[in-house]
Amino acid sequence: MDSETSSYYPPRAGRRWISPRLGQSIDRLGLALRRMWRSSPLGQWMRLVTGFQWFLAALIPGRGYALLGQRTLGRVFLAGWWLSAVATVILLCHPTMGWFLGGMASCHSSGLAFLMLRQHEANQGHPASLAERILLPLVCWAIYYWLVYLPGFDQFRLRVATPLRITTEDQTMAAVFNPRVRVSKVERGDLIAFHQEGFRIQPQEEIAWVFAPGPTFGRVFGLPGDRIVFTPKLVRVNGREVPRLEGMPMEGEQVVEPGQWFVWPTVRVPRQGVMVGGVRRNAEAPFAEAFHRMSAVRHSDFLGRVYGRWFFHDQTQP
């Protein structure tokens, strides 16, 4: 009986906006595509479940187990994926973060590899060999890790939260900053990440200090046009007193130029020293000169503003 003309088959509500003839054409096209898929080599090989179920198995971690009745195992891998995802974001600056990212790829690819192995066994009529059980999951993991998770994670770090880890001779500093903050949104007191240019300082008969180029942190003390006055006890910004930081000049004043901020570094930058006559000389003067030189940060060197808190870590005091 024709579903389009019989009174027992009223027109579908979802297709009232198109004509019956166009609806029939769409149905025929969908049927033809399904037949083409089933007759294709890949469609004939993937007969254990439907094409849409294969898509879900590739999209949802652990779904491949659930499709073949292993629901508990599928839930375990889905929970493992979520735990790995949360740990990856929280430990964004930690060296172990890469292991959790690999764990996400492993939990995601495991269900699909399981479904592919069962499909292969159904087509061949015998269990898969040991080499196939080892190689197929590894290939699936590599595809997910290198083609899905690494590019996606790079975009997350580039657009949402950028980790910055600085290791020097005596400390390791790490923080996560927001790269989407605009220059116009930076205010006094903000902790920002910026790119510092490399330079060399070598006072007469003293240690030669090489300040490596790269990203670092600093707190904004002055905006363009602000007047900075240094005294032995404190610093005044437009007449307002602010605490001194290590290495600040004991006297003098300056006006922040347009297109710049007055930013005092809050971490020791990477460096390497050269002993003079086998004796390590006093390094306070070179560091004070270097920090004062680094304090003029151009707007073009701005990388982002450090998040006040990153989950359980207070980043306001790096």
pLDDT of 302 > 90? The answer is yes
Query: For position 89, what pLDDT does the model report?
Result: 94
Long-range contacts formed by 80-83: CB under 8 A, 24+ apart: 80/107, 81/107, 81/108
Query: For position 314, what pLDDT does the model report?
Result: 87
CA pair distance 93, 172, nearest whole angstrom: 11
Q: Which residue has the higher pLDDT, 228 or 248?
A: 228
Average pLDDT score over the chain: 81
Q: Which tens digits make up the pLDDT trace of 98-157?
A: 999 999 999 999 999 999 898 888 878 888 899 989 999 999 999 999 999 999 999 999
Against a cut of 0.85, is the pTM above it? Answer: no
In CATH terms, 180-314 corresponds, of 2.10.109, 3.40.50, 3.30.420, 2.60.40, to: 2.10.109
Look up residue 303 and give its two tokens. 């990388």
Q: Which tens digits make up the pLDDT trace of 48-105?
A: 777 788 889 999 999 999 988 899 999 999 999 999 999 999 999 888 899 999 999 9
- Cα separations in angstroms, 273 against 149, 154, 199, 204: 40, 35, 13, 14
pLDDT band at 279 (very low <50, low <70, confident <90, very high): very low
Give the whole-number percent of the chain exceeding pLDDT 70: 77
pLDDT of 45 > 70? The answer is no
Structural domain spans, the chain: 40-159, 180-314
Q: For residue 221, give the H/E element and its range.
A: strand 214-222
Q: Which residue has the higher pLDDT, 156 or 167?
A: 156
* 74 Cβ neighbours under 8 A, 6+ residues apart: 62, 63, 64, 65, 66, 111
